[in-house]
Structure 1
Amino acid sequence: MKTRQGRAKRPRRTAAWKVLAVGLTVSLAGCTGSDGTSAGSAETSASASSSSTASATASSEAGADVVTLAEAFAATLDDEQLSALNQDYTFENAANWSNLPNALLAGGMGGGPGGGSNSTGRVGLQTSTLTDEQWTALEDLLAGATGTAENEGYDEIVQHLEADDYLGDNGGGDDYGRGNFFVAFLGTPSASGTWELQFGGHHLAVSNTYTDGALVGATPSFRGIEPMDEVEVDGDTVIPEQQERAAFAELLASLDDDQLTTATLSDSFNDILLGPGKDWAFPESSEGLVGSDLTDDQKALLLTAIETYVGDLADGDAQTILAQYEDELDETYVAYTGDIAMENNGDYVRIDGPSVWIEFSMQNGVILDGAHPHAVWRDKTADYGGLTS
């Protein structure tokens, strides 16, 4: 079995394993487990919306699980690692994420689209320092904080790490690979007060903010992938972002000619607008085709596209947020430029609602030939848990 950054790469864990592992961890810690339900259809979202008390309880339980798993991970670290892991809960630290490999950030490419707020690199503990035991504890934590669906949540994170391993092995070199990711606790994991679980590296940013044990923000959430084509890495099939691309393509293909004309943006885009360093910079007015002008079937496709991002969260949290976005569908806009298949450089699509903001932009390859996507999910009130400065 191939070793990467000092750690033997293990097979991807299944959603069933995740539910069992989180349940066992919480049971041993004497805490209540999360509900384990999956984010699903519009019917499920409507049900969650009508049960706000139950959703809030599930969110609090999931938050308690994450605290338990965070403490278990921290318990495996030495003093030097803990010093790197534990960072202050500040806007500067929270906003210090990027789609770039950390070597480029540390080389002074921070700031603006594609860069981060800190040109010295990411904050936190670099994964190359982790032992197998520590990696396992980190995986448990990430699994507890994210969704159980195939190709979403935790499964998608693992595929992102595998994709970066693939880049390292196919022309990227040592600047790419799972050892170049960072994990940070901004503030102290606790059932009271506010803290953020930050995890990221090339093409990936996870930023879950918790207050009094409940998730209060899961954005900015960045996903990109290179290669876009399906590849095999040590026996695993890597296909993250394919379901997102397909969901956007199906939504746009459902529009008639008049709707497509209304949805077409006058400008072209070579990247996302609200990338790293572009916090709280939402456009003052929305463009494109408004949700109230969609058929019921088209609204379902719009919600499905949104769900491919919200579904990256722990399942109970995803239900609650998706129900809110569903309530706002009539006021949510769809806009695009390029080809509706979303397969080539310059193809771009945007979802812009009262709360939700999602962009998907196809880019030229950097290490490999062929286009690949950059995508960001933001929330107009809940980015960084509402922290603005």
Structure 2
Amino acid sequence: MRELIESVCSGFTEFDVPLSESDVDGPIDWLGYGSALERAEERTGERESVICGAGKIGDVEATLIVFEFGFLGGSLGRRTGDRIEAAFTRARELRTPVVSLIATGGSRMQEGMAALSQLQRIARQAALTRAAGIPLLSVLRDPTTGGGWATLGAGADVVLALPGAQVGFAGSRVRPAGDASAYTAESQLASGHVDQIVEDLPGTLARWLTLLTNASGTAPEPPAALGTSNLPATSWDAVRAARAPDRPHADDYLDAYFDWRENISGDRCGGVDDGVRCGFGSRDGVTIAYAAQCGTATLPSGFRTAARLIRLADRLGIPVLTLVDTPGAANDGAAERAGAGAAIAEVFAAVAGASVPVTTLVIGEGGSGGALAFAAPGRTWVTPDSYFSVTSPEAATAILKRGPEEVPATANQLRLRPQDLVELGVAEGIV
């Protein structure tokens, strides 16, 4: 474990934490527990299952909570809780981000409920630290199960995982027989519970900490248009330009706008939308968060991921850029069962409630409420090859009981061109 600490940070100084005294065999008199603690200390050279201290990761001072799995399976007991609580307290005093390098089998059964109740203690400390505007990062090592996953792991702002790590609430000896692949870092990534699988841990941590600790209150400028500079003559021309397969999309804009960036992934509710790109990027040395639609119908998981990103950025004081490009929210039966309306409402609420500035650029299709949820009132710009509409021309035509041949005329009635949006006061200007 000491080698792991040295590999990710420099100048590590361990915190001196007074540990709770207990009877030889612990709070529930578990026969032989005292001897097991002594053997664990001899085997690992550590006094407990976690080491906590401060060091520099890249250029950022951080507080580290590092688990030693060799010490009783990295289990959580009362003295573990002492150390973790002290680490969070010091992080708030020092105003440093908290990085948890987790490898644990869960709560220490030899201490009974006294051990399990440490999860409440940890959750309280994490909540206080989040409220103080301090970022929390977790790294899931092998294994990360039980209460360690359900508090320090899954409860972090950004969740990273090492390849092949066992990750799940149930450990291998207590889970039902069946699909073991569900309990892997890769499966948790696919299900929206992990942000990234990490190969270069020191480098990735340094990048993330740089991004999350470099907030600027300045409103982001909208990106420059990457497509055509010609304004459409008609609204139907605007629709066709926005739907052109060769026009620039979200990744093109993000790559041109940021010097470098890191994505988050997943809604933490079991879903990932590949048509929504969220994360944090560095532009001219400052951090800007982004939530971008990629041209597809946005799923409930995409809206929830965007809301998660905006709320996190707001808590950390990081301004937000949103890119609008969707024919609309997914509205099939699966989307309704997944809570489409509630998910869209989350994004509307996140944008409306943000104390940091939010800037929006419409880069393609602006299809109804699923697009408007991403847009910032009073700070929305449009590109020449975009449109914004109350509904799609095809849907409007069907609602009005018109024939398909009337779609272009209906589009023109909707006044959805970029120049129309500026005239109507929906957009501030055309980039």
Same fold by TM-score greater than 0.5 = no
Structure with max Cα Rg: 2
TM-score of the two chains, using structure 2 as the length reference: 0.22
